[in-house]
Structure 1
């Protein structure tokens, strides 16, 4: 938070007030003495801007965090602007704003905030209707207003606390150094202290608490998911990995999927029992060992002799989108083998910050272990080898491949849903997209091998021939996981320069700092919307796999029937 008084003024006087205070100023309202006029005005403007449209519907809590955070940033920028002007003019202080200015600001604040709440209500209703989400109740708006003020107050007061600490240090350093040197040294000391405190105490304590919490969740066993009785599933008879070691999400994956009866009924033919192999965090010592164990499990279960072997990279908790796995098994009537492994038990948004390297290593090592076993087979007897993953799993799924050409050369297809801004292949294809194609739905290399889709009909873009192997990226225009990027703070992205996607309001605009906070808050509710929006990918998976693999005897009618059966399992 910026310092709202010149730290170079005479500290023998009251450092909480301007040096040129008068008796009239002493009688000013408390807020005029505590806060700066310019900072307050800027904070108010930023608070208004925070209520403009974003990607997804938000409830009172997350909107309050966005509004309070935006207001605090605006206040800090206003204070910083005044300080810079004073510094450049070599002034120790600036005259206080007249009382009439504060009165006008208060009136404008009340009227402007009321109008922005109406606008917020309007666009929230529009985006909720667009996505089929219930509208906010009328009492949600006063809740949002109250919580926004609380968040704003806490953040600004925290900035005031930092300011007082700097002033205290300057006062002490002035005894042995010039004022300007004292100011620089004081600010540097506070920054270093803050970094040391955050890294040494806050992060360590937070990570310990998170590890303890999610480790307990990972070890929870669902009584409705007993160990499998078949040797074709990890944790079952003859398995190299114990049932308990698979972790919560691993056990759910192994216990899930369609039964042979369901597969037979769907395909109207006798089905084969699908193979699912999995290694948990506790199944082996380290990522490389877990990858080898999972590949050995696949081999033990006979997975290399199935028509399709799919290497799935999980999200942070070890979760796999059930729709992506089930669709493959339905399409090949169970003649499939899916192998995966866990590399963390933290949720994806935390893993993205602290376990990203683990996701990359897991994706790379698991694919290499499976690919090595497939290559030992006679070429004519090898199964189709495909890869898939969602969110952080798509990031890990890309890891074994340096480029699109590499994945084309080494696999029979790939499906990546909800990619992140760190997906290297996705970024390369998006940045080098064909002229005239939008960022939210790019066309790369005339769609020769890679296609981007938010809806099934997008898979036919462009009309040029689609060569094999095929790669599909499923991404919604309203998915904040795909479009969040630190560059949003100060840089306008192409997806907000171009016409908006089908499920994003045309009135959404880029605003420095504010849009970054809005999209960050949208990430927290990215899966709280129906399929086809946000970070929820279910029914379109059927169309994507059908286009990638084109299974023998598969028809569009089967795709439509399959769409209604799929669930994400989240």
Structure 2
């Protein structure tokens, strides 16, 4: 009894697939669920199998010598047996590696069934992709056979290849990919319009979305309404300081408030003036993430730190998650960010120096990238803003890459030291911001990033070069068992980006406890001490999320 041709597996290809699958299951920056482990392993294994089949075809096409049939049967049998033995060993070891990362991150274990789930999903994904590959070859051959009636054989083979590519590209890019994006767009738009019943328009006339506001409550968007409604009150802040405090000013303009990016920025600027934002001690131009979200841990901690005497202004540029925005157009939102900065800064420099707020920039993730893209450092040196605090600067950021590439040779890529530390400093969970070799200059630019954040450290060069951050002096939250493999490490870290949230204080999940020292170094609060900082960190560690 023989297997149908569609079920035949090359033993040589199977062994190579298992070896590459095992490499893909080694630790990366983020702990992965068994389901994702299996999906990645199956996909990488299928790529390895396809590569072997391509090499095998080329070998035969060149008419190079092959082993005798009897020797081939013995070798192929041994290779298949080896693949079947090695596969479960690698899957079992992968589960041990993943549990070690989870322990490092203080995350819960995946469970005893993890190896079985990894193996089952890897086999299913591998089989599916192999069948798709064989469908591609079948289409190629059919199209080539038809073309061969009219053109030379080699030209027919080339036409058949292009036909199969066109069919698959239309199916996966033109139909599936666009269909998924359309579904994400519709669902994100609906979520952004949702008005949570527990949130009511603010009563105070100085609040955005109130009856006196220039922006209707409905036009703030889902995250804008939460941002405005969740601000800490003067009473909460005063209780921490045991001294009088103020209600913070939060200005937010959603996508539906105006049809044009510059109109939304103008509306936010006018609302900021109306709410008294230019009369506060601290003024922050914040750029939200792709969905419009601003991290409460960052904003709340800054407002506590400065006794509520803070105004923050932001404009929504999308309702898609940051990773979707990156796929569609990572520069989308730059018009809003640039227009808002120009308006606020242009007005700020007209105010008397001793009677204007201290101006700062802020952004997280895609918001950090857009915020950095608006900074005209050479244009503002005559009257510079005070500084910026950027968290989780994504790999898209040319500014961040410049800092890493031009860092001091004795500093790691995950916490670079730039120049004499008077303009730029970078820190993580373990600090690094107060270790400047020179005093701060007129502008303080602070980067906060975790060494385990794949959104910060992804790079296509991972496909062919080991990154500096994966050397001996790696970050404290990066597995000591992580190794670099050509192409595979790029795929691993690329997948890590999609699952980098969920464990506070690691990956791309930034927390108030680490924002606090970053903001303190950026804004240099009056009367700030190490004891006061620790007290605020304890408060936010125990404070319920909003």
Q: Normalising by structure 1, what TM-score?
A: 0.90
- Measured after TM superposition, the shift of residue 259 of structure 1 is 0.8
CA–CA separation in structure 2 for the residues paired with 1:503 and 1:408: 41
CA–CA separation in structure 2 for the residues paired with 1:96 and 1:190? 36
- From 7, 16, 25, the counterpart of 1:51: 25
Matched residue, 2:289? 315
Structure 1 Cα separation of the partners of residues 448 and 304 of structure 2: 20
Give the corresponding residue for 1:240. Answer: 214
Residue by residue, what CA displacement relative to the aligned partner does 1:397-454 show, whole Å, maximum 9, x if unpaired?
Answer: 1111255896896321111111111112111111111222221111111222111111
Is 1:164 the counterpart of 2:164? The answer is no
Deviation at 1:504, TM superposition (A): 0.8
Higher mean alpha-carbon deviation, 141-150 vs 30-39, is at: 30-39
Q: Tell me if structure 2 keeps the 8 A contact 1:404–1:425.
A: no
Counterparts in 2 of 1:405-416, with a 5 A limit?
A: 410-416=384-390
The counterpart of 1:154, out of the listed 112, 128, 136, is 128
Secondary structure in structure 2 of the residue aligned to 1:311: strand
Paired residues of 1:451 and 1:473 also in contact (CA < 8 A): yes
Contact 2:417–2:426 (CA under 8 A) maintained in structure 1: yes
1:453 maps onto 2:421 in alignment? no
Q: Tell me which moved more, 362-371 or 237-246.
A: 362-371
For the pair 1:516 / 2:490, whether they are aligned, the reply is: yes
1:387 matched to which residue of 2? 361
Match of 1:296 in 2: 270
User: Which deviates more from structure 2 when the two are superposed, residues 32-41 or residues 352-361?
Assistant: 32-41
**How far does residue 137 in structure 1 lie from its aligned partner after superposition?**
0.9
Deviations 1:35-86 (A, max 9, x none): 3333222211111111111112111111111111111111111112222333
Distance 1:96 1:313, change over 3 A: farther
- Residues in 1 aligned to 2:70 and 2:267: alpha-carbon distance in whole angstroms: 70
Give me the whole-angstrom Cα distance separating, in 1, the residues matched to 2:303 and 2:499.
30
User: Counterparts in 2 of 1:38-117, with a 5 A limit?
Assistant: 38-89=12-63, 98-117=72-91
The Cα offsets for residues 3-56 of structure 1, whole Å up to 9 and x where unpaired, read as xxxxxxxxxxxxxxxxxxxxxxxx655579733333222211111111111112
- In the other structure, the counterpart of 1:525 is 499
Matched residue, 1:212: 186
Paired position in structure 2 for 1:396: 370
SS of residue paired to 1:414: strand
Q: C-alpha distance in 1, partners of 2:320/2:367? A: 13
- Aligned ranges for residues 3-402 of structure 1 at < 5 Å? 29-30=3-4, 34-89=8-63, 98-402=72-376
Size of the aligned set, in residue pairs, is 544
1:393 Cα shift?
0.8
Counterpart mapping for 1:456-471 below 5 A: 456-471=430-445
On the 8 A contact 2:348/2:356 being kept in 1, the answer is yes
Larger mean Cα displacement after TM superposition, 389-398 or 346-355: 346-355
Partner in structure 1 of residue 393 of structure 2: 419
1:140-195 CA-partner distances (Å, limit 9, x unpaired): 22011101111111111111111111111111111122222222222223334444
> In the TM superposition, what is the alpha-carbon distance from 1:90 to its structure 2 partner?
7.3
After superposition, what is the alpha-carbon deviation per residue over 1:448-469, rounded to whole angstroms, capped at 9, x for unaligned? 2111111253113343333342
Identify the residue that residue 535 of structure 1 maps to in structure 2. 509
1:23 corresponds in structure 2 to none
Distance 1:79 1:148 in 2: 19
User: 1-side partners of 2:156 and 2:163: how far apart?
Assistant: 10
Structure 1 residue 288, shift from structure 2 partner:
1.4
Change beyond 3 A, Cα 1:31–1:173:
closer
Runs of 5+ consecutive residues of structure 2 not aligned to the other structure = none
Which of structure 1's runs of 4+ aligned residues deviate more than 6 A? 90-97
Aligned-residue offset at 1:499: 2.6
Range moving further from structure 2, 187-196 or 315-324 = 187-196
CA distance 1:534–1:275, shift in 2 (3 Å):
closer
